[in-house]
Amino acid sequence: MPYYVDEEYYNKEYCGEEIDSFEFKKLCKRAEELIEELTLYRLTPVAFLAMPEDVQEKVRQAVCAQMEYLDANGGADLDSGVGIQSASLGKFSYTGSAGANGSTEQPIFAPRAERILWPTGLTYKGGRC
C-alpha cells in the first residue's frame, strides 16, 4: 500500500501523465522508495505525518514526478542498473551514448523530483562554506 500518494491524488491533484491502473501501485511503491532514498531516509511514513503540510505537499509532488519519470523511462525496473545500449523499431533506431564515466546508465532520480524537494531541506547532504 502506498504511503504518500494514492491514485486519486495523482490523477486529480497532480494531474500527471496517464498511468495504467494495473501499473500504478508498483510504480508508486518504487517511486516512494526512491524518494526516501533521495532524502537520505529522512523521509519515512512516520516522519511524513509530523512534517508541515507544505512539506508533505512537496513530498507528494516529488513522488508523482518520480512516478512519471519511471513510467516514461522503462517502468519500475529503471533502477536495475542496466542502461539501454541500442534499440530498433521499424525505421527508428536508437543508440545510447556513454556519459563522462563511460556509462550509458540513466539516472534513477527524476530531475523534477529533485528540484521539487530542494526547498524542503530533505535532500541536503551537509557541508559548510
Dump pLDDT digits (tens) for 59-118.
Answer: 999 999 999 999 999 887 776 655 555 666 666 766 655 555 555 567 899 999 999 999
- DSSP letter (8 states) at residue 28: H
Return d(Cα 76, Cα 69) in angstroms, integer. Answer: 10
| CA proximity to 68, closest of 21, 110, 126 | 110
